[in-house]
């Protein structure tokens, strides 16, 4: 049994124990009890660890029923905020924090609020909130958030130092958290084209916490970016067979396309599109950014890409969503509008090879050759790995070496209160 499997088994055992403790005949826990709150947190841990978004959505509905009779309102509103972040419902997360005054000033409440601010592109306010939280209590997840923001603004060395400080705050038993931090350090290097350094961190994560699916995903992502397509396809196939997800269908489609197996690529991408659209039809929003990517890649779906990009930016207007809307507009020939949005994205001060490459293409289409050349150079300097890639008409996600631009996993699996 891997460490990941052992943790899941332990959480399952704690859930069973909490239910049994209420009485052998009890079908549910007493409304509003401390034990019920602990049970809900354990279920959150399980769903988070598994990446089970459907389970999180169901749990959110269960919490709604528990809040009315709970004595521990703040704990449950905080839990709902964690879930809202994972489901990309950022406005809901902010509303949850506003339901109990104590959440605006407690450490975890401030950190969740910083996540909301970051997604909204309010970077200085997010940093200030993190620093207030750290002034009250130095926590590893607070340092991790500061590291992530520091990296986004271009200071890789300081970000890595902060991640190391976060690791120093952990105990020997917190191997999941250590592995998660190593994955963040690896991802930083990956997005700078430092593949060997990324691999070192990914391997540390695997040794610390064997069996974790996120490590396997990052390893497959790295292999694909390096052109080891058979290895990458095998990695994503194993992940998909264990737990089918549309983002892995999408990745497999991209990998088959890039490896020249176009007949195999289209069915995977079509399947991913169907599943993304099914999710959106249920009112879910966490696949909007992937719909933008996929519709930009598929012929005849450019206008849909613009539509999904506008919906995504209505949820969170930051440099990544602004850049993606600019890219979608560029792909359908709306160069003037694309220029407006790429200018907003660049004004954030974020350092991103993907964003610079988007800007280079858009400025080139507008006849602004000097700006195009400058941003292509910035893209190459930021991540030299895809420096010679011809991007027009190519799948931006894998060719750019940054694959899926994940929402930072800062809604970390929290202990039960």
Domains in the chain, CATH or no CATH each: 285-399 (1.25.40.10)
> Which residues have C-beta within 8 Å of that of residue 96, sequence separation ≥ 6?
77, 78, 80, 81, 84, 103
Radius of gyration of the chain (CA): 22
- DSSP of 270-337, one letter per residue? HHHHHHHHHHHHTT--TTHHHHHHHHHHSTT-HHHHHHHHHHHHHH--SHHHHHHHHHHHHHTT-HHH
Residue (of 159, 165, 211) closest to 184 by Cα position: 159
Is it the case that residue 279 has pLDDT exceeding 70? yes
State pLDDT tens for residues 291-329.
999 999 999 999 999 999 999 999 999 999 999 999 999
Kindly report the pTM of this predicted structure: 0.91
State pLDDT tens for residues 61-94.
999 988 876 666 899 999 999 999 999 999 999 9
State pLDDT tens for residues 196-246.
999 999 999 999 999 999 999 999 999 999 999 999 999 999 999 999 999
């Amino acid at each position: 049994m891997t460490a990941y499997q052992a943790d899941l088994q332990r959480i399952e055992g704690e859930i069973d124990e909490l239910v049994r403790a209420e009485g052998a005949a009890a079908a549910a826990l007493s409304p509003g009890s401390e034990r019920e709150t602990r049970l809900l947190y354990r279920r959150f841990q399980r769903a988070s660890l598994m990446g089970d978004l459907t389970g999180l959505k169901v749990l959110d509905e269960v919490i709604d029923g528990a809040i009315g009779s709970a004595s521990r309102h703040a704990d449950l509103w905080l839990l709902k905020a964690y879930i809202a972040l994972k489901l990309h419902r950022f406005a809901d997360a902010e509303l949850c924090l506003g339901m109990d005054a104590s959440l605006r000033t407690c450490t975890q409440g401030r950190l969740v609020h910083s996540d909301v601010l970051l997604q909204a592109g309010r970077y200085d306010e997010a940093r200030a909130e993190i620093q207030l939280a750290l002034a009250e209590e130095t926590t590893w997840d607070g340092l991790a958030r500061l590291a992530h923001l520091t990296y986004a603004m271009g200071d890789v060395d300081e970000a890595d130092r902060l991640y190391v400080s976060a690791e120093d705050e952990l105990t020997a038993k917190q191997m999941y958290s250590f592995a998660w931090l190593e994955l963040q350090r690896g991802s930083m290097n990956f997005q700078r084209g430092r593949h060997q350094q990324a691999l070192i961190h990914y391997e540390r994560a695997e040794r610390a916490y064997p069996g974790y699916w996120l490590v396997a995903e990052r390893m497959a992502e790295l292999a694909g970016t390096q052109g080891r397509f058979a290895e990458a396809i095998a990695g994503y196939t194993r992940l998909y067979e264990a737990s089918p997800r549309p983002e892995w269908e999408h990745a497999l489609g991209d990998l088959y396309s890039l490896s020249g197996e176009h007949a195999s690529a289209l069915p995977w991408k079509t399947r991913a599109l169907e599943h993304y659209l099914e999710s959106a039809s249920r009112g879910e929003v966490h696949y909007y950014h992937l719909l933008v990517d996929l519709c930009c890649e598929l012929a005849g779906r450019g206008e849909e890409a613009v539509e999904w990009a506008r919906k995504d930016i209505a949820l969170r207007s930051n440099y990544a969503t602004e850049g993606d809307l600019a890219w979608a507009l560029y792909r359908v020939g709306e160069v003037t509008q694309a220029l407006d949005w790429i200018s907003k994205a660049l004004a954030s001060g974020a350092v991103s090879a993907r964003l610079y490459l988007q800007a280079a293409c858009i400025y080139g289409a507008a006849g602004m050759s000097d700006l195009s050349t400058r941003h292509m150079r910035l893209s190459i300097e930021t991540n030299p790995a895809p420096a010679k890639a011809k991007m027009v008409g190519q799948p931006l996600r894998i060719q750019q070496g940054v694959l899926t631009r994940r929402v930072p996993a800062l809604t970390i699996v929290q202990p039960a209160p």
